[in-house]
């Protein structure tokens, strides 16, 4: 494993001690939620540099040197979704995506030592099971939409729009197309943006995507809807589940090969 230190003459002349553990801390989170990886630092003045890297190539994604934060999202994977605590250097990932799953390395360097930790993060798609003939509600997780919130619900690989809310204009739209699966079966909660589907059948088994945007936040979350009481699951659902499993397996294999 690579070790990153400040190449100052003072550091090079001092004995360097590497402190770490092979133990991997594991954290799981639902897609769209936030997760924080804690450094364990309680005395901020005790370190010179904190560096976070991600994936099998140890791509540097964030670092802090004394009193300055700097993010370095080299491949653009995280965008503006990374936050470092000013005092502890703990790393928070907001609006998580399935592609955020993987191993994160933490390197902490001080005058005469470098310590490191490893974290495995797994981002899951929420799976919702319901019996044919029942109704199901896909929850946004919000208790009250903000006044400028926009809610968009889509389904399937083509992300066909089935419902949306614009609180600023007080407009709500439900699916009015030719697809009988959704016509007159949808209900939106105007307060929370949660979506209810009535009289569920096997044809509703699919991946549903929620997008929430406002001046204060942006969130994207997917739900895998599986209808019980039937022998078949839709092709879209099977493919999304397979992709998620393969991604996690490849991540684990890449980590073990290091």
Q: What tens digit of pLDDT does each residue of 74-124 get?
A: 567 888 899 988 888 899 999 999 999 999 999 998 877 888 999 999 999
Asked whether this chain's domains 9-124 and 126-230 adopt the same fold, the reply is yes
Closest CA to 150 of 131, 134, 137, 169: 169
Distance CA 71, CA 34 (A): 18
Distance CA 63, CA 74 (A): 12
| Lowest mean pLDDT across 24-28, 29-33, 83-87 | 83-87
Mean pLDDT across 188-199: 96
Give the start-to-end residue ranges of the domains of the chain. 9-124, 126-230
Q: How confident is the model at residue 254 (pLDDT cuts 50, 70, 90)?
A: low
Closest CA to 124 of 105, 97, 91: 97
- The top-level CATH class assigned to 126-230 is mainly beta
How far the first Cα of the chain sits from its last, in Å, is 8
Write the pLDDT tens digit of every residue in 124-154. 989 999 999 999 999 999 999 999 999 999 9
Mean pLDDT of the chain: 81
Tell me if the domain spanning 9-124 has CATH number 3.90.1150.10: no
In the predicted model, is pLDDT for residue 31 greater than 90? Answer: yes
Q: Is 195 exposed, middle or buried (0-12, 13-18, 19+ CB in 10 A)?
A: buried
Token readout for 27 is 């954290």
pLDDT for the residue 72: 62
Kind plus residue range of the DSSP H or E element containing 117: strand 113-124
In the predicted model, is pLDDT for residue 210 greater than 70? Answer: yes
Q: How far is CA 110 from the centre of its chain?
A: 31
């Amino acid at each position: 494993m690579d070790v990153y230190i400040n190449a100052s003459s003072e550091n090079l002349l001092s004995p360097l001690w590497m402190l770490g553990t092979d133990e991997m801390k594991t954290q799981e989170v639902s897609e769209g939620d936030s997760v924080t990886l804690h450094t364990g630092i309680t005395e901020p003045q005790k370190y010179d540099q904190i560096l976070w890297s991600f994936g099998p190539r140890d791509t540097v994604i964030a670092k802090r040197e004394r009193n300055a934060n700097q993010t370095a999202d080299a491949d653009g994977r995280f965008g503006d979704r990374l936050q470092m605590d000013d005092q502890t250097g703990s790393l928070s990932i907001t609006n998580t995506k399935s592609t955020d799953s993987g191993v994160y390395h933490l390197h902490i360097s001080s005058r005469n030592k470098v310590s490191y930790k490893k974290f495995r993060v797994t981002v899951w798609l929420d799976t919702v099971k319901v019996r044919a003939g029942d109704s199901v509600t896909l929850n946004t997780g919000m208790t009250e939409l903000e006044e400028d919130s926009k809610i968009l619900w889509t389904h399937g690989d083509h992300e066909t729009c089935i419902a949306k809310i614009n609180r600023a204009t007080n407009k709500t739209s439900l699916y009015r197309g030719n697809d009988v699966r959704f016509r007159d079966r949808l209900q939106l909660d105007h307060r929370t943006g949660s979506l209810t589907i009535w009289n569920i059948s096997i044809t509703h088994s699919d991946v549903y995507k929620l997008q929430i945007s406002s001046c204060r936040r942006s969130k994207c979350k997917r739900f895998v809807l599986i209808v019980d009481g039937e022998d078949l699951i839709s092709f879209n659902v099977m493919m999304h589940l397979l992709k998620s499993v393969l991604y996690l397996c490849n991540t684990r294999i890449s980590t073990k090969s290091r």
